[in-house]
Amino acid sequence: MRKMLTVAGREFRAMVATKAFLLSLVVMPVLMFGGILAMNFMGRLTKSETLRIAVWDPHDLFVSDLVKAAAIRNEALSATGQGTSDLVSQVNSQMPADLKSGAGLDNSNSNSTSAASDAAKSTNDSSGSKRSSGGPLAENDRFEVIRLTEATLDDAQRLELSAQVRAKQLHAFVEVPANLETWLADVSTNQAPNPALPSVQFYSEGSGLDSARRWIGEVMNQLAKNKRFEKLGLSPPQVVIANQPVPIQSMGLVTKRSDGSVTSEASRDMMTAMFLPMGIMMLMFMVVMMAAQPMLEAVLEEKSLRIAEVLLGSCNPSQLMMGKLLGTVAGSLLIFSFYLLGAIGFAWNQNLLSSVPLWVIPWFFLFQLFAVLFYSAIFMAIGVSVSQLKDAQPMMMPVWMMLMLPLMTWFVLVQKPDGAFAFWLSMFPPTASTVMVLRISTGVTVPFWQILLSLGLLVAATTLVVYLAGRIFRVGILWQGKTPKITDLLSWAFVK
């Protein structure tokens, strides 16, 4: 035992007392979650642009309202600075009276121009979170709508406008077909839909994610709806009231307290319910990867440099292997503690501590402990069976696929954590740790017997894997020369 603990202490110090380990503690969360923060950060750094858009609209179906909507948006952006976090309230406060009625903000009568304001302001999605019509990296773009007064738009004029777009004099130009007015006026319900609906042409060098294209589309579609509502004798305010959704608040199950009072758990918003379990699962993945992956490289280095032969002069292969595994587990506990304290501190700073399922921590600890042992033993067995890292890569691919399977299916798992797919993945030892922790953190009641069964299967599988890896380690640590085949590894593991 003393020799094993000595090896474990050496392995722990070799693992954590390096600059690479300290750097990976900081870099790994950035690689996993940095994309989300980077989008918001780049959005703040993006300079505000004024995008000039020329519109040819021979019957003035939309262009007048687009000019007004652009002016409202630009004034709101100027009032709120570079960002659009308060764009909704600014648009509401600055909206002209003739446009307010169409947005359903007062009780005055509406007209055909009323809907532009509703599309110019930020909209609410189904989860209740506000989003800007400009997109995450172009929320502060301003629009200048230029009316084209030509009676017709031929190919020569399109070429000229395209040249202005290429010369950056215009951002885009829009062509509203002349026959669109007839289609908007047709509100009959006793005929089949026209298969050749007239479409508005948006010409630009931008991609399909162009903020101007989305903004133009939102405004025009709302205006088109309002014009057809008016043909049916409905005012936009009436339609807004008729379409007002019934608010549905997500609540937890009702429980009875010790004092006899009945209460329900605090509700979770959709984003928290979806991404919090995913974040906890990603944390499990990071801990396992940072602890188990270096095991292969360390064993391979000691074998190639003949360090293992010196170590075997002081202890037997079983003591050496178990010492390495214990040192790796100790390093994983350090990683777990570091990230746990960081996550709790971040949640406390953001007033989100009540949303963190603290009851998951003990289960996370247990499943993480055996997951590290499970994958460390596998990586160790691979490391002692090869002489070069490139020879280990084909063997590592199936292991990485099993480890990453929950990450590739997390959305399905979060949607139905009590479904058959999630259940069987939580019972499959290579994926049991990450999937069961994800299921518990969703807030769905996971039967206690399922948690114990999953943990029991993981413990049994880990014991078997460590035993077989030990038999492979005993032979492979001194193996030199040709890389053994799978049949050789099986003979090492099962044949005495």
> What are the per-10-residue average pLDDT scores of the chain (496 residues)?
77 75 73 61 63 90 88 79 44 42 36 38 35 44 88 90 91 88 71 66 78 85 83 77 77 73 65 75 84 79 71 74 82 82 76 73 89 89 79 82 87 86 92 90 86 94 89 76 74 72
Who contacts 140 (Cβ-Cβ below 8 Å, separation ≥6)? 46, 48, 77, 82, 83, 84, 134
The pTM (predicted TM-score) of the whole model is 0.61
Beta bridge mates, 55 = 147, 174
Quote the pLDDT of residue 481: 66
Amino acid at position 375, single letter? Y
Q: What pLDDT is recorded for position 113? A: 37
**pLDDT value of position 209:** 67
State the pLDDT at residue 267: 58
Which alpha helices (H) appear in 150-244, and where do they start and end?
A: 155-166, 180-185, 211-231, 236-242
**At 177, is the secondary structure helix, strand, or coil?**
coil
250 and 269 in contact (C-beta within 8 Å)? yes
Q: Could you tell me the sign of the dihedral formed by the alpha carbons of 36, 41, 44, 45, in that order?
A: negative
